[in-house]
Amino acid sequence: MKAKMIWANFSVQDVTRTSEFYKQLGFTPNNTNNYPKLASFLFGDNEFVIHFFERGSQIDEYLTGPQTGSEIIFTLSAETEAEVKEWAERVKNAGGSIFKEAGRDEKGYYGFGFADPDGHRFNVL
């Protein structure tokens, strides 16, 4: 068996707020679906799709909201330390929260961690 595609689905409280957050970060909306309880965005050069379904839609059967931790964390690549710092500033300005400030880890990677308004976690390296 071979999967032709893979994408991610998240549950969010307010699809409009989520849409604005990711637009402010510069991600491209995936306008393939006019479903009003869905915000969908393309991530990276290979255009990985992440769907954000508003609670109260069909996704509720499969997902709960984020708990105290995170089941998955997506990593976004940056090319320079300056770009990492720019991402952090954009996240703050868009209403996200930083859970790990920018800096070097024990392996020398420079990056930071953030959560979107619904608590979904990402890091930028």
Q: The domain spanning residue 115 has which CATH number?
A: 3.10.180.10
Query: Range of 39's domain?
Result: 7-124
Q: Which of 16-20, 34-38, 104-108 has the highest mean pLDDT?
A: 16-20
| Residue 2 within a domain | no
CA 87 to mean position of chain CA atoms? 12
**Is pLDDT of 50 > 90?**
yes
Give the per-residue pLDDT at 74: 92
**pLDDT tens digits for range 108-124:** 999 999 999 999 999 99
Domain count, the chain: 1
| Residue 17 within a domain | yes
| Residue 66 within a domain | yes
Contact 41, 47 (CB under 8 A): no
Rg (C-alpha) for the chain, rounded Å, is 15
| Residue 1 within a domain | no
Coil vs helix vs strand at 10: strand
Give the per-residue pLDDT at 5: 84
Lowest average pLDDT, out of 54-58, 66-70, 91-95, 97-101, goes to 66-70
| Residue 113 within a domain | yes
Give the per-residue pLDDT at 70: 61
Q: Cα angle at 113 between 108 and 114, to 5 degrees? A: 165
Residue 52 has a CB neighbour count (10 Å cut-off) of: 25
How many Cα neighbours within 13 Å face the side chain of 72? 8
Instruction: Tell me the C-alpha distance between 7 and 108, whole Å.
Output: 30
Please give the mean pLDDT across all residues of the chain: 89
